Each structure stands twice: as structure tokens, then as C-alpha cells.
Amino acid sequence: MNNTCLKCVVTLFILFASIFSTAFAKYDPDLKWYTIETEYFLFHYHDGLEEQARELINKSDAIRIEVSAYFNWVPKDKTHVIFNDHLDITNASATPFPNNTIELYMSPPAEIASLEDYDDWVELVFKHEYVHIVHLDKAHDFPYHARKFFGRFPLFFPNIFSPRWITEGLATFLETDHENGFGRGQSNYFRGLMRNELINGFKPLNVVNQNILDWPAGTTAYLYGVYFFNFLRAEYGDDIIKDYVDRYSHFPLPFFINTITKRATGKSMHNLWVEFEFYLYQEFSDELSSSRFMEPKNHSITDTGYFSGFSKTLENGNILLIKSDLEQLKTLEEYNPITEESRVITTLLGQEPIFGQTFDYHVDRGVLMPVIDYLKSTHLNFDLFRIDITTGGKYQLTKGRRYIRAIWSPDGNNIIAIRNQSGRHSMVLLDSSGTLIKTLWGADKNYVFSSLDWAPDSKQIIASVRKNNETLNLALFDLDSEQWTVVTRNDWFEAHPTFSQDGSKLYYTADYDGIYNVYELNLNNRDLYKLTNTPTVALYPNIDEKNSALYFAELGKNGFDTTAQQADLFYQFKDHVLLESFFSTPEKDDTSFKSLLSDSQSTDTTDNTALEAKPYSGISYLAPPVWFPIFIIDDYQRSFGFATWSNDPLARHIYN
């Protein structure tokens, strides 16, 4: 058969397979998709995301060069990068099969939950996923030559057989910039997670090697992995890490981790794990000093851990709280601090097991909660629900609006919500039924809203907001003038602000001393007090001023739980921890919030306007990337052939 005939047969095979392949809607079929091709990447995006795609294209080559240089490896084929704006969850994914593909979810990190410590969040998640691509693609010797013959057969990708904590740890390690303070490997939230592990029991290697449900569950691989590579760099240097990956990429058999480790370091992985644990205790020795934590005696209200912890106080002194674990659905409960009894109001159907679920409460309107809801079977977005705390009835207020945060006005007649779309946040005003009245602050690529509270006099909003290149800071929004006033502007993270009953104080979470605790800021005289002194992480303050009590989410052995701090110890402790001010006053800093957010610090002058965007064509990517022989011999037949499989990047067509 000549080459022309062979090409015809292959083309007909692809066309036939694509016609009779499994087609399903992974993405909204009503969207129009486009592709921008560069020397090393194929960027696929749908309408509304071209600007985001081109911004990443500007930075992608610098990231590619950095990652490829570290691994001394350049993937043979171009990497597909998909921009997806239909999930209100900050995440991304990468796979080498059937071709190297990265998917980025266009939802910026808006919560203190590990990804908040970034410079440019799209750049950070892209770098993390591209580390996966290069790491998993790398192969030498037998695996490399076998791949030349059989194509992208999984058995010939040695690094996919690494434990998850190594693959995720390595990507998290390389996403981290210690010098400039970006990435999870140096974040104060991740430090809090690891302190918690050291306090409550460092996990042995055989446990971390598994996909465990024990806290911190899915974060275990990232947490232990990044700190292990921090340890290797500190004690042995980067060359040891590179040598380990290089040796693993040569090895023809999977799972021989101990053998590869001994060859790279001269020590078994078990011996290194012992050294790793010792390194961590030294690294955290000051933060774990018992003399540092002469804290008030706290009382844990919930005991399920995981993603419990958020609470609001009712007019009768009871507490509304979220209780959650990984085995049951989340529940909204009412807790009586006198009898210590709880009443389940409702299960929170549709909730993803992610930390950061919040709600607001109004005595006449009930609970206002953003809930993950499916739309068209392709969208996983937040919408607003109202919950009656007496009956547990749930009433959907919005559909397809993507409101990720929402609060009641003091009179209950209005709602202010944060909308997420195309990787950008806007602040909108709604009536009590969820109908849009107007946009208070338009969507802009430069900033992200984390949390909100409405002042008791109804005139102002306090928000935790961040701009790329800066941290989460606090700002006041005047509802009459629709102007911002900067409250704090510093290098720390300040989140979850709430007003006191008279509006003169703010209670919020901050990491001023490297540990997330609850603080009180007097807006009149600018006095700042530290209210909690946890050795782990304290988030989501809820002040019951009538009964002089503080509730917050505290990290413990099994995750976050709602914790109460007793009134007498609460105020006694407060009196002797007056801190230096970490904020700016309007008199000292009259920079408006608008100009603060619009300042551009980018020095990237790459021009990609000449790169043509073409309509996406899935059939262009359906050439078989792999084949493998099949032999069937039994009492009824003797046959042989080959198997192949593939799909286009958007999974419109799949064949095998």
C-alpha cells in the first residue's frame, strides 16, 4: 500500500470513528469555541474569554521555559490549554492522555483555603498544571523508545505511577515563589495545616501514599508533598530532586519508589521520611512553642471537623452553624449554648465538600445562602437560596446568576451579592426576592471580593478585597456616593470582616504574626486587638455582644469546627495583647479604592495581537495517538489486531 492510500485509509478511519463515537456535552453546546495556536501550545477558549486567553499566552512561554529547564525535558507535542468558565470552583486539571491537556476553571480564589496566596492566579494554576504535563510526559530509555513505537500508551509514562503526593507535591513546590511570597509552599494557611498535623499526629509514609479520607483528605498530597520537597531542597539541594525525577523517568517498571530513592539519595524513602519529620519539627519549633499559646480555654461546639465552622448568632442567643464531614451531607443546625443541644434545620443539598460555604441571617427573612446548583448539566454554579429556619424549607431566589457571596440589608429588604463571571467579580444590589436592581461595582479583571458585611446604619459595606500583586485587604463602600475608602493596605491577609452592633468596630481574620487569628479593629481610634490565640488557624468570627461571646471556625485534629470562647477569658485576654497598627487611615492614605485597584504593575510587553483566533475544530485533533496489539486465543477463535483510542480536547468525540 503506498503512502497516499495509507493516508486515505487513516483519514476514513478517523472520520468513521468520529461519526460513530460517543458524543456528550461536557461543555455547553451553545457556546462558540476558538483556538489560538502558538509554537508549543493550543489555547482553546469560548466566547467571553479571549482577553483572559491572550493574557496567559503572553506569559506561557516564560513558564514553559522555566519548567522545561527544571526537568530538562520538552514535550514532543503541543499542549492543549482549555479555558472553562462554567464552574464556580477554583481548580484546574492536567492529563497526558490521550494528549497533553490542561483545563483551567475561570473562577478566582476568593477564600482563605490554600490558593489565596498568589500574584496572578491564572498564571499560578497554569504553572502548577504545566509542571504536571512536563513531569508526567518525561521518559528515557525503554519507556521512551517504546513510546516511539506504540504511541502514548500509559505503561510507557513512568511518572504517572508515582504516588499522588509526589506528583502534586512537586507541582505545588514549583508553583511556590519563596522570595516574592507566592504559592502554597510558603503560605500561612498551609503552615497552619502543617502545624495542625504536627500537633495532632504526623502521618506515616504508608498513610500518605494512599488516597485517604482522614483530614486533610484531598489536601494531604499537596501539603505533605510540598513540604517534603521543601525539605529535600533545604537539606540536599535541587539537584537531588532533579536526579530522582530523571531516574524515575528511565525506570522500565512502575512503583519502584524505594529503589529510585536509594539510587538518588543513598537512603530509603522510609529513612528520608524520618528525616523529613525531624526537619518539620525544627522548621515549626518557634510556632509550636507552648509558651506562645497561653490561650483562653475554648469550647468546641461541633465535633465532625472537615468543613464545619461557619456560624451566625440568632436573636435568642442560639447559634446557626454548618456541620459537615466527608461521609454525610452538610447540615444547617441551630445550637443552644445553654443546653448544648443541636437541632437539624435542613440538609444542604447540592453542596460540594469544600471549605468556604457561608450564609447570612435576618430575623424576618431567614437564612440567605449561595448554593452550588447545576445548570444545563454542564454548569456548576452558585445561586441564592432562602432557608426558613423554623420549617427548614428551601426557596430558590436566583437561577444561573452565579452569586458566590450574599448578605441581607439590616432591614431585610435588599441583598448585596458578589457575582462571578469570566474570572471577574462584580458587586450587585438585589431586592429581597433576588431580582437585580443595579450593579454597584462593575466587573474588573484586577480584583476579587472575598467576604462582605452590611453596617448596622445601612450606609456602608465592609469588604475583604484583593488585587493581583497584593493581598486581601479591607475597604469600606459608601452606598450613597458609591465610593470606596481604604481601611487596610498591607502585606497580610485580612478576611471575613463583620461589624459590631453599633458599627464602631470590625471583627475579622488576619495573619499578622504568621498565624490566622481573630482581631478587633476600632474604626474611631484605630486601636487593634488580638482576640484569639490558636496555634493552628482561626477563621469566620461571629460575635455575640449581647452575651459577650465569640464564635469562630478553628482548625483541629479532624478539620474545622465551630468553637466558642468564654466571655470572661475573652475580654481578659484581649486587654493585654494590644498590637501595633497594620492599617492605613484615610488621613494618611487618601488613595481611592478605585485607583488602588486600577493601578497596573505589569511589565509584560509581549504582543500577541497578531496571533489569529480560529474557530475550534475538534476533528483536527482526532488522529490516533496510540495503538496496542490484541491477541485473542480460545476454544472458539484465534484472532489478532490492534486497539486505539482518542478524543478531541473538548470531548465532543470519543472513539476506541
The grid cell for 134 is 512536563
State how far the Cα of 185 lies from the Cα of 73, in Å rounded to an integer: 23
Angle between helix 141-150 and 238-250 (nearest 10)? 50
Q: What is the pLDDT of residue 256?
A: 84
Cβ-proximal residues to 355 (8 Å cutoff; 6+ apart), any chain = 111, 113, 307, 309, 560
The grid cell for 373 is 446548583
Q: What is the pLDDT of residue 11?
A: 47
Using only C-alpha atoms, what is the Rg of the chain?
27
| 475 membership: H or E segment, kind and range | strand 473-478
**C-beta separation of 331 from 348 below 8 A:** yes
Q: What is the pLDDT of residue 586?
A: 40
Cβ-proximal residues to 579 (8 Å cutoff; 6+ apart), any chain = 512, 519, 528, 529, 530
Residues of the chain with pLDDT under 70: 1-25, 290-297, 328, 349-356, 567-609
State how far the Cα of 596 lies from the Cα of 610, in Å rounded to an integer: 31
pLDDT in tens, 564-590: 997 666 666 665 555 544 444 443 343
State how far the Cα of 521 lies from the Cα of 80, in Å rounded to an integer: 48
- CA distances (Å), origin 231, targets 278, 462, 599: 10, 40, 38
Cis peptide before 216 (omega within 30 of 0): yes
Is the pTM for the entire model greater than 0.85? yes
Cβ-proximal residues to 279 (8 Å cutoff; 6+ apart), any chain = 231, 234, 235
| C-beta neighbour count of 107 within 10 angstroms | 26
Q: Which residue is listed with cell 488613595? A: 591
The grid cell for 338 is 445553654
Cβ-proximal residues to 285 (8 Å cutoff; 6+ apart), any chain = none
Work out the end-to-end distance of the chain between its first and last CA atoms, rounded to an integer number of angstroms: 24
- CA distances (Å), origin 343, targets 310, 332, 340: 16, 9, 10
Strands (DSSP E) found in 409-471: 414-421, 424-431, 436-444, 447-454, 460-467
State how far the Cα of 259 lies from the Cα of 621, in Å rounded to an integer: 38
Amino acid at 205: L
**C-beta separation of 233 from 276 below 8 A:** no
State how far the Cα of 548 lies from the Cα of 531, in Å rounded to an integer: 12
**C-beta separation of 411 from 423 below 8 A:** no
Q: What is the pLDDT of residue 602?
A: 41
